[in-house]
A and B are shown apart, each in its own frame.
Chain A
């Protein structure tokens, strides 16, 4: 158990819909990262927050957004969903930049 929790574990929805994925970091970790993992693209970094502020942005689509709340949990919002958004979405946390990341179990999103 990494100490990082993600909900829900599975999500099935339709194209055009909007979903919210939730992540609670390990106690004491200030950084939260979001990744998308698919068979054809591998593990893609989406976005990082540090203590409530956006720190780095990767290959995140404009239809996707995220935020980190004062209690340090984070949410990833995916809207206008397309079939190609079906993937595993991982959240990870770390103490700070450059430190080892602790990954959650992931949310498997299926868009039908």
Chain B
């Protein structure tokens, strides 16, 4: 079956530091890839997405590129803020090939200190 692996957390950074959260996936076909963010006490919300190889999703300074050759979708941000502290989930949704089961990684907690 499909799977998503993301780096263990927590990731602890100082404000304005560079962020990378690694995500790799295993899937057949060409799934859509997503990053969701969950703030304390809330549901997940979409951060960015990419639907085909070499697509770059971006939002609020975060970026991730769909790399089919390395089956990766790493999340990056050039300068993190305290308000970015949250849990980040990498996910895939096959949407075709006979499977409609979305798969989420276990989440990576990000803590940003002033």
With a CB–CB cut-off of 8 A, which chain B residues contact A45?
A: 101-104
State whether the Cβ of B42 lies closer than 8 Å to any Cβ in chain A.
yes
Q: Are B45 and A103 in contact (CB under 8 A)?
A: yes
State how many residues of chain A have any CB contact under 8 Å with chain B. 25
**Closest CB-CB distance, B10 to chain A, in whole Å?**
14
Is B101 in contact with A58, judged by CB distance below 8 angstroms? Answer: yes
Distance from B63 Cβ to chain A, minimum over Cβ atoms (Å): 17
Contacts of A92 on B, CB cut-off 8 Å?
Answer: 43-44
Which residues in A have their C-beta under 8 angstroms from that of B89?
43
Interface residue count on the B side (C-beta < 8 Å): 25
The answer to whether A56 touches B34, judged by C-beta atoms less than 8 angstroms apart, is no
User: Distance (Å) between the CB of B57 and the closest chain A CB?
Assistant: 10
User: Is there contact, CB below 8 Å, between A90 and B42?
Assistant: no
Contact A100 B96 (CB under 8 A): no
| A interface footprint on B73-114 (CB within 8 Å = 1, 0 otherwise) | 000000000000000010001111001111111110000000
A101 near B104: Cβ-Cβ < 8 Å: no
B-binding residues in A (CB < 8 A): 2, 4, 33, 35, 42-43, 45, 48, 50, 55-56, 58, 90, 92, 96-106
Q: Apart from A55-B100, A56-B99, what are 8 other A-B pairs with CB-CB below 8 Å?
A: A2-B45, A4-B43, A42-B106, A97-B100, A98-B95, A100-B49, A101-B46, A102-B45
